[in-house]
Structure 1
Amino acid sequence: MNKQVTSDIVRIGMVNYINVAPIYEPWKRREAEVGWNVVEAIPSKLNRMLAEGELDLGFVSCYEYGAHPELYRILPDLSISANGPVGSVFLFSRVPVKKLDGQRVLLTSQSETSVSLTKVALEEFFNVQPEYVTGEVMSELRDECAAVLAIGDDALRLTQEGNFSHQLDLGEVWKKNTGLPFVFAVCAVREEFCQQNPLLLSMVHKRLLECRSEGNSRLDDICKIAAPKIPMEVDRCKAYLKGIQYDLDEKKREALEQFFSYLIKRGDASPGALPLKVHSFT
């Protein structure tokens, strides 16, 4: 029998976009626990680090869980979601979306979830098949493309610039076509960490829920910290963050199942992604 390995050290991935500020800013205000190490990065980097065992848990693209479900469990009651417009995942287009067939569409390299959602939306909902290219959204490459997928802070900046005649909020498109919210990120934990450190995992989960509660109650203060990072007006930041949800209720689990069903059908996710493996602390 293998000896169980326990540790007081946990490596936590945190998305470095302002959409996680209502959890992360309260986290930073609290006294750091010894051994609780946080890594800030874009979603695609956190995905890689979690998959390669460089992190124990973190907010990662839900795509990462769908691609490698055998590695993870989903922590309950935590996500980055929207029930309709999300305000920071946009397809910016120079032509009407239905005219993007055969056109070049630049996809951000920062999030596999949003890339997959874009492909589902364009191909399944609008029945168009563009030519996809991947690269940095804020580079000159976007000038060569008919449309651009931008997420997070980049999307907020492009919205501020207003240089595209058509702007598609992909959270809104998903809601219109499925009737469901969309889960952009989950808090995934590596399977072996669940087995080896159940008490530590419970403590971290409790702290994340406490920070979420504090962030919701201090949203005005959070926005004063977060808004200058774009930069954007505090009132607009508050309107944006009020549209982001951080729970994982029954409807959001149903939404994850629907999204993974699309990805499995397309060959973009593992069939093992369903049924969902949501961790239980009981």
Structure 2
Amino acid sequence: MQPMLNIAIRIIRNIGNIIIKNYETHNINIHHNNYDANIFIKKIYKNLNNMITKIFYSIYTQNIIIICKENFLIFNCKKTVWIINPLDGIMNFLKKIPHFSISIAICIKDKTIISLIYDPLRNDLFTAIRGRNAQLNGYKLRCNNYIKQKNLLFALNNSYFFSNKTNINLIYLFKKNLISLRISGCISLDLAYLAANRIDCYINNNVKNFYYLLAGELVVKEAGGLITDFINNYNYRNSSNILVTNSSIRKLVISKC
């Protein structure tokens, strides 16, 4: 596992260097011309694809199948699949809001065995190996397994308040318990922050593509966090909603769903 993790760290840091270089130099006005923004992002993805492909071909001798799916670069090396999101938080990146990340999930037989989430601006690298805990910059992560009396911070998906599935009871719960809410625009960092106890709960009522949650899923689980859907079902991958937190807060939220 460790050699594969080392390769992934090399790749994710190289991606980070390219992302930061473009972040610091771009002057795209997305209000003025969305076409320019799309072309700019596609150019970055093309450069990243070429860079990652060269690294893979220098390491693996077997044929590599490369798939571009939505915002993901997928590399299939025999039984191992690398699912890379080069830029989670594209809108933040374009608007020069310093909150975006890169994620890598390495899967074998549909099971994520290694995951990485990298914030290139803060140089925060979250890693997880299945069965061997999660870390932030080499330090072990562990989710708190209790409910605080105050100062709870929940993260929500971008479309939470605009979805037909918005639960009035949960909004009442937020208000009654004075829960602070954040919609950050970067799912992978939301999950990484939960594993690091920077936030207390992540709620998504409109899951459309689980790839966005894939790397964060393993980081949370290896840190001791719990993931279910809104009805306490662990088969959440087949659901359109997801709840990520510790056992105490999960009971509180599910009681209102």
Q: Same fold (TM over 0.5)?
A: no
Higher relative contact order (Cα pairs below 8 Å, separated by 6+ residues): 1
TM-score of the two chains, using structure 1 as the length reference: 0.27
Instruction: Choose between structure 1 and 2: higher strand proportion.
Output: 2
TM-score of the two chains, using structure 2 as the length reference: 0.30
